[in-house]
Amino acid sequence: MELKNKKWTHDEFNAIRQEVLAQWPTGKDVDFEEAVKYHENIPAKRHFAKRLVKAKKNGDTLTQPRAGVALIDEHINLLNFLKTEGEADLLPTTIDSYTRQNQYKEAQNGIEESLKAGRSLLNGFPAVNHGVTGVRRVVESVDAPLQVRHGTPDARLLGEITIAAGYTSYEGGGISYNIPYAKSVSLERTILDWQYCDRMVGLYAEHGIEINREPFGPLTGTLVPPSVSHAVAVIEGILAAEQGVKNITLGYGQCGNLIQDIAAIRALEQLADEYMTKHGYSDCVLTSVFHQWMGGFPQDEAKAFGVISWGAAAAALAKATKVIVKTPHEALGIPTKEANAQGLRTTKQMINMLKDQAFPLTSELQAEIDIIKAETRCILNKVFELGSGDYAVGAVRAFEAGVLDVPFAPSKFSLNKILPARDNNGAVRLFDVGNLPFTPDLIAFHRDKMAQRGQAEGRQPSFQMVIDDIYAISKGYLVGRPR
Amino acid sequence: MELKNKKWTHDEFNAIRQEVLAQWPTGKDVDFEEAVKYHENIPAKRHFAKRLVKAKKNGDTLTQPRAGVALIDEHINLLNFLKTEGEADLLPTTIDSYTRQNQYKEAQNGIEESLKAGRSLLNGFPAVNHGVTGVRRVVESVDAPLQVRHGTPDARLLGEITIAAGYTSYEGGGISYNIPYAKSVSLERTILDWQYCDRMVGLYAEHGIEINREPFGPLTGTLVPPSVSHAVAVIEGILAAEQGVKNITLGYGQCGNLIQDIAAIRALEQLADEYMTKHGYSDCVLTSVFHQWMGGFPQDEAKAFGVISWGAAAAALAKATKVIVKTPHEALGIPTKEANAQGLRTTKQMINMLKDQAFPLTSELQAEIDIIKAETRCILNKVFELGSGDYAVGAVRAFEAGVLDVPFAPSKFSLNKILPARDNNGAVRLFDVGNLPFTPDLIAFHRDKMAQRGQAEGRQPSFQMVIDDIYAISKGYLVGRPR
Amino acid sequence: MTNKVKVVLGVIGADCHAVGNKILNHAITAAGYEVINLGVLVPQEEFVNAAIETDAKAILVASLYGHGEIDCRGLRDRCREAGIEDIRLYVGGNLVVGKTDFKKVEQKFLDMGYDRVYEPGTLPDKVIADMNEDLK
Amino acid sequence: MTNKVKVVLGVIGADCHAVGNKILNHAITAAGYEVINLGVLVPQEEFVNAAIETDAKAILVASLYGHGEIDCRGLRDRCREAGIEDIRLYVGGNLVVGKTDFKKVEQKFLDMGYDRVYEPGTLPDKVIADMNEDLK
């Protein structure tokens, strides 16, 4: 199938569907017609898209953790604990890493070893192995909107099974689940595979079932400048909408400077509205998600609570529709459910204390919004041009050319030429813009910002500055200055 | 002695000093000349005033806990723990409540019962009973600037002993340690007694020893509008400066709305500069202290971390010179040293992440600064007028007239006519301005703000609204709305 | 003359926490009781004298500052000596220094002769519900 | 031809955490080693093959995602079978799911045949210091 940003026909989709459902024995239990009926009976309070729309209307910021374990009953207990003890508004099912690489045999082995060990030896829930029936046990035992969160380049079978089982939201995208999550899978391949997922969601929409879709905003989660992740988010939003998705949440990972973070969420919402409308997808409902700090955390729990709180504050002041919450165990690996609930409660307290406080649109905030929008437009317009009017084709060519480039990405299809670092106020800038198609003004802006910091620290921007910035928050600072 | 705001002569001071030192047997060990020599050898890094001045110059916000136990060795261990494990910049010695009421016999009983019980049965360190020698063991065992923190209406003997023992900072004031800490002690009495303390500090200054003084900013810590506590702070600053104090820290307790809190610290610094200069005390060095939320806390520690973090963020963004830190045990009584250190580390992480982020002077922030300054000037100018040009006399008359009035004060000398409540954005306003000498514009401002909230909630401002606001943060919200 | 049930309210010892006292006063009054509010810094003697003078049915003791253990000891004996041994004694607040298992704290104060012991963070409604059960 | 000591670096299993890998690559190269960096998503076999081909002195295995216990088991045997049984094996990261006592985790990986085991949050300097001691 040739890659282009065009809605698949039913025939195109169905031809591939048979292959997909045959990838693992549990695939045969997916029955689309039955699944539509099943969804028709899911009440509004468990409906992800409806919950998001209500929150956006009320100006609320909803909380959502990450969580997943190998076995069904344990997973149900975990989610219910996070709902009651963590007061979570939205619940996830984080998928294990074997499933993300379509290694279902290894996942099966992980299930069996977990049964033997009496604790989860998988870092998530192997939904494909558990199949529609198993996943439905989760759906029917947890009274909250449920989303699949993963990092799966080819998430077609996972999507078929979990959506058929009653999940109402699905994370991922052809770029955002490739570049940070794969090493040598081509972008053509993943974009096509995610067109499949989006088309599947579009098919549910044609039958009156609204499933929320969420491209993964933070990408590598490591000093990603807002314009870089925004460009990817808008492209993935457009690709999803073209396949018929009607409810999309676009995301951004906290950088740490408050003004930049608030500006980023506002710019993302404005850009998404602008581009979706321009390309004819104005019937798509958009919401936003803010990810608390995705980089290294302090090992000390008290300090980790500080980092979590700052992310909660930024999310609330930016009025993001939801916030993905970290835990005080972040630096130490996968958290206990108690630590997960603590992170959620800290976040909830902060959000509730801040919900009545509007952050004023200051000239500094507006300037930052303008910069982010100008940069993102440079990238998006160049992608569109490279693709001769097609964002799917353009995205592939843009990554080849470094017009799209994600710092610290494992994928060999990301050029890895840009180098980000913080400016003197802690905002994430670029000391090497690589091949990003910025105007001379924007390039000068970044150069000046980096020079300003270099001067303050008496050193030239270098890779060491980047390393210092990467470790800074885990060592208790935002900016990695020489000490 | 007749109360007036005039520097005491040496004779006036010395006449009373003999009485004061005779109040408890340990008083006889105070030797001023020897104490001056002792202070001359205290290194700069343990010198409170010098540390504050350095922080102000560098734009740093220093952390300081509250802490005190009955016995000397335990107290030393506690302080050293907070320095090493809590990374505290400044250390306190919180005095027990019996000593605060000059009940030295009861304090002695508490020491003995604590010895027997093997744990502290006092809520602080009974410094008078331990005497100069005992207190010096603390001073010489703790390598950090040390301050006495208490709440003692008559703190003359406590001051003589702790300063002679080598403490370099002393909290309190004739208004701020009466109105929130006494029931029926007259203001004339406490202002005179605190003139004594200030004169003593002034005497040290005459001998080249700079002791930092800090009026207690938050007063009752319960919905105190900034202008009310600012008026008291400026008056106490002036009273201290008149007696020869050269290094003063003025304080403010977090209200919870970020714009109001930042505005409050900026207004406090500007007002203090203005009034001190106007009245001829421009040689006095001023710094500021921000108190994290002084009201009720959530019992849950994770939520308490959120409240602590928000206080740390406001302190850092306001660029206060220091912040007084709460602990995750706040709702449960006096914290363990571990919990105390956790609060400090959370705060330190937040301050370090925010230190490079300036909060822009927005029009909303300027408007709030203007309001606070206008209100405070109304009060201060009326106090000056009531005292016929004397702030000491004026303060007494102003409390009688309700021109100065502190909400929820235990003292019968506070008229208790004003009633504060939050507006629709969570800023603390007045729904009854009582006898505060505000202009019609300012009165209308408060009335409109309260009406706006009342409308949003569909109820009239009432005492129930105040109660709702008092419990709100402990229940997870800032504004106590009907739910 | 009122026929409302009377209760004595105050913060014991060297403790000057006034906010909770003012709120309790307001809430208990609103619940139909006559409150003799002694405010803060109240010695045991003053509680007992006020109870005798007003013929109160209960004494409500608060202690917020951690000295409760020392301050509250002996109040029941003092009531007995003054001839009001059947008066109800309520106590609440931060009764001890440090975070302690509340069950142990409660038992300690029950042993001292208090009828009801409240943990930190108790809301007025709970106290009033108990008063309605005990005193009406 | 270089006479630098060679080491193989990679993130094992289905794990795609690339940031630490890139930083370690940079830091170890700067410390004077020749790094054969296999990047993320590396199977055991690829580690062993790369070590044989380049005559590396050590294999540095990272696992950040919690599956370390399953992924790392058997690497020492595989080295032995391939005739490089004396090669140094380093392992570090978030090696197990959940917060666990590091001493126990370390012992488990030592028993599996690893020579050095690093806890979460270890900085490159520490690893390089050990390499200088073990490999030079």
User: Residue B102's closest chain C neighbor by CA?
Assistant: C14
The side-by-side arrangement of strands in the sheet containing D116-118 is: D34-37, D6-11, D58-63, D88-93, D116-118
CB contact under 8 A, C98 and B334: yes
The ranges assigned to domains in chain A are: 10-354, 417-483
| CA A346 to mean position of chain CA atoms | 22
- Return the closest-CA partner of residue B261 out of B448, B427, B473, B377: B427
DSSP string, D67-134: -HHHHHTTHHHHHHHTT-TT-EEEEEE--SSS---HHHHHHHHHHTT-SEEE-TT--HHHHHHHHHHH
Do the Cβ atoms of C70 and B339 come within 8 Å? no
Residue D39 has pLDDT above 60, yes or no: yes
Q: Which domains does chain C have, with CATH numbers?
A: 7-98+108-122 (3.40.50.280)
Largest CA distance in chain D: 45
CB atoms within 10 A of CB A73: 11
Q: Which chains touch C (3 or more CB pairs under 8 A)?
A: B
Burial A429-454, CB ≥16 within 10 A → b, else e? bbbbbebbbbeeebeebbbebbeebb
Residue A37 has which token pair? 């009926």
With CB atoms and an 8 Å threshold, state whether C99 touches B409. Answer: no
Of B295, B329, B410, the CB nearest to C39: B410
Q: Is A233 helix (H, G, I), strand (E, B) or coil?
A: helix
Bridging pattern class, strands A169-171 and B169-171: unpaired
Q: For residues D110 and B341, give the distance between their C-alpha atoms in angstroms, rounded to a whole number.
A: 35
Q: Which two tokens stand for residue D6?
A: 């060679």
How far apart, in whole angstroms, are the C-alpha atoms of residue A154 and residue A156? 6
**Which pLDDT belongs to residue C94?**
87
CA distances in angstroms from A109 to A106, A448, D108, D111, listed in the order given: 5, 54, 20, 22
Asked if the Cβ–Cβ distance from B357 to A309 is below 8 Å, we say: no
Residue D129, classified by CB atoms within 10 Å of its CB into exposed (0-12), middle (13-18) or buried (19+), is exposed
Question: Which of B103, B105, B123 to substitute to test the interface with C, most C CBs within 10 Å?
Answer: B123
Query: Residue A309 corresponds to which tokens in the numbers above?
Result: 């709180």
Residue of A357, A473, A477, A483 to mutate, testing the B interface (most B Cβ within 10 Å of its Cβ): A357
User: Which residues of B have a catalytic role annotated?
Assistant: 100, 171
> Smallest Cα–Cα separation from A196: which of A181, A218, A213, A208?
A213
pLDDT grade for C99, boundaries at 50, 70 and 90: low
Q: Which two tokens stand for residue C80?
A: 């007995």
The answer to whether the CB atoms of A113 and D97 lie below 8 A apart is no
Q: Tell me if chain D has a CB within 8 Å of the CB of A474.
A: yes
Six token digits for residue B439: 């202009």
Q: Under an 8 A CB cutoff, do B354 and A310 touch?
A: yes
Q: What is the pLDDT of residues A108-136, one digit of tens each?
A: 999 999 999 999 999 999 999 999 999 99
What pLDDT does residue D67 have? 83
Residue C66 pLDDT > 90: no
What token pair was written down for B409? 């004060």
Residue C104 forms contact with B (CB below 8 Å): no
**Residue type (1 letter), A208:** G
> Using a CB-CB distance cutoff of 8 angstroms, which residues of chain A are in contact with residue B476?
348-349, 352-353
Interface test with D, best of A71, A105, A109, A183 (most D CBs within 10 A): A183
D118: chain A residues, CB-CB within 8 Å: none
Alpha-carbon distance of A246 to A228, in angstroms, equals 24
| Nearest residue of A to residue B257, measured between CA atoms | A357
User: Residue B310 and residue A350: Cβ atoms within 8 Å?
Assistant: yes
Dmax (CA) for chain C in angstroms is 45
Chain B partners (3+ C-beta pairs within 8 A):
A, C
Give the list of residues 6+ apart from residue A401 with CB closer than 8 angstroms, or none. Answer: A386, A415, A435
Tell me which amino acid residue C133 is. Answer: E
Token couple for C15: 């403790």
Residues contributing to the annotated binding site of C for adenosylcob(III)alamin: 14-18, 94-98
Distance CA B36, CA B208 (A): 8
Report DSSP state, residue A334: S
Nearest to B111 by CA among B94, B96, B93: B96
**How do the pLDDT tens digits run along chain A, 483 residues long?**
899 999 999 999 999 999 999 999 999 999 999 999 999 999 999 999 999 999 999 999 999 999 999 999 999 999 999 999 999 999 999 999 999 999 999 999 999 999 999 999 999 999 999 999 999 999 999 999 999 999 999 999 999 999 999 999 999 999 999 999 999 999 999 999 999 999 999 999 999 999 999 999 999 999 999 999 999 999 999 999 999 999 999 999 999 999 999 999 999 999 999 999 999 999 999 999 999 999 999 999 999 999 999 999 999 999 999 999 999 999 887 899 999 999 999 999 999 999 999 899 999 999 999 999 999 999 999 999 999 999 999 999 999 999 999 999 999 999 999 999 999 999 999 999 999 999 999 999 999 999 999 999 999 888 889 989 999 999 999 999 987
| Interchain pair C67, B183: CB under 8 A | no
Chain A environment of D67 (Cβ under 8 Å): 96-98, 110, 121-123
- Count of A–B CB contacts within 8 Å? 146
Residue C30 near chain B (CB below 8 Å) = no
Q: Do C99 and B329 touch (CB under 8 A)?
A: yes
Q: Which residue has the tokens 């093997």?
A: B118
* Burial tier of C35 (Cβ tally within 10 Å: 0-12, 13-18, 19+): buried
Cross-chain CB nearest to B309 (options A309, A358, A425):
A309
Distance, CA of B304 to CA of B473 (rounded, Å): 9
B10-354 to CATH, choices 3.40.50.1970, 3.40.50.11860, 1.20.1060.10, 3.20.20.240: 3.20.20.240
Q: What angle do CA D115, D121, D122 make, to 5 degrees?
A: 40
Tally B–C CB contacts below 8 A: 92
Residues of A in contact with B344 (CB under 8 A): 302
Q: Was B68 annotated as part of a binding site?
A: yes
Q: Which of C16, C26, C120 sits opposite B333 (nearest CB)?
A: C120
Within its chain, how far is the Cα of B127 from the centroid? 19
List the strands of the sheet with B146-149, edge to edge. Answer: B62-64, B322-324, B285-291, B247-253, B212-214, B169-171, B146-149, B91-94
The pLDDT value recorded for residue A192 is 98
Amino acid, res. B152 = T
With a cut of 70, list the residues of chain B below it in pLDDT: none
Alpha-carbon span B395 to C135, nearest angstrom = 45
Known binding residue B38? Answer is no
Task: Tell if the CB–CB gap between B301 and A354 is shorter than 8 Å.
Answer: no
CB C45: neighbour CB atoms within 10 A? 11
In angstroms, the CA B371 to CA B394 distance is 23
Gap between the Cα atoms of B16 and B27, Å rounded: 13
| Residue C74 in contact with partner chain B when CB distance is under 8 A | no
The residues that bridge with A100 in the sheet, in sequence order, are none
* Annotated binding-site ranges of A: 66, 68, 100, 123, 149-150, 171, 177, 180-181, 297, 326, 330, 334
Question: Which residue numbers of C are catalytic?
Answer: 15, 17
Cβ pair B421, B461 in contact under 8 A: yes
Question: Is there a binding annotation on residue B171?
Answer: yes
> Strands B428-432 and B419-422, how do they pair?
antiparallel
Q: Report the topology of domain A417-483.
A: Glutamate mutase, C-terminal domain (3.90.970)
**pLDDT class for C2, splitting at 50, 70, 90?**
low
| Residues with Cβ within 8 Å of residue A77, at least 6 apart in sequence | none
Q: CA–CA separation, C46 vs C13, rounded Å?
A: 11
Question: CATH number of the domain at B363-475, please?
Answer: 3.90.970.10
Residue C98 confidence class, pLDDT cut points 50, 70, 90: low
Mapped onto helix, strand or coil, the DSSP state of residue A287 is strand
Using an 8 Å CB-CB cutoff, list chain C residues near B409.
Answer: 18
Nearest Cα of chain B lies from the Cα of C30 at a distance, in angstroms, of: 11
For residues D128 and D26, give the distance between their C-alpha atoms in angstroms, rounded to a whole number: 12
Cβ D88 vs Cβ D115: under 8 Å: yes
The answer to whether the annotation marks B170 as part of a ligand binding site is no
Residue D39 at interface with chain A, using a CB cutoff of 8 Å: yes
Could you report the predicted ipTM of this complex, rounded to two decimals?
Answer: 0.92
Write out the catalytic residue numbers of A. 100, 171
A332 interaction partners in chain D (CB closer than 8 Å): 94, 99, 120-121
Tokens of B380: 């201060």
DSSP helix/strand/coil, B305: helix
Looking at residue D99, what is its pLDDT? 66
Cβ–Cβ under 8 Å, residues B159 and B203: no
Residues 6+ apart with CB under 8 A from B29: B131, B132, B133, B161, B164
Q: Residues A222-249, buried b or exposed e (16+ Cβ, 10 A)?
A: bbbbbbbbbbbbbbbbbbbbbbbbbbbb
How far is residue B307's CA from residue B324's CA, in Å, rounded to a whole number? 13
Question: How far is Cα B6 from Cα B8, in angstroms, rounded to an integer?
Answer: 6
Residues of A in contact with B357 (CB under 8 A): 257-259, 425-426, 478
What is the spatial distance between Cα A176 and Cα A229, in angstroms, rounded to a whole number?
9
Is the pLDDT reported for residue C1 higher than 60? no
Compare all CA atoms of chain C with the CA of B223 and give the residue at the minimum distance.
C19
Distances (CA, A) of A335 to B74, B437, C115, D94, D130: 35, 56, 44, 11, 29
Per-residue pLDDT, A386: 98
Does B touch A (3+ CB pairs < 8 Å)?
Answer: yes
Given phi > 0 = left and psi -120 to 50 = alpha, else beta, which region is B367?
alpha
Among B183, B297, B336, pick the best mutation site for testing chain C contact (most C Cβ within 10 A). Answer: B183
**Annotated binding-site members of D for adenosylcob(III)alamin:** 14-18, 94-98
Distance CA B152, CA B96 (A): 10
Q: Are B273 and B248 in contact (CB under 8 A)?
A: no
Binding residues of A for adenosylcob(III)alamin: 68, 123, 180, 297, 326, 330, 334
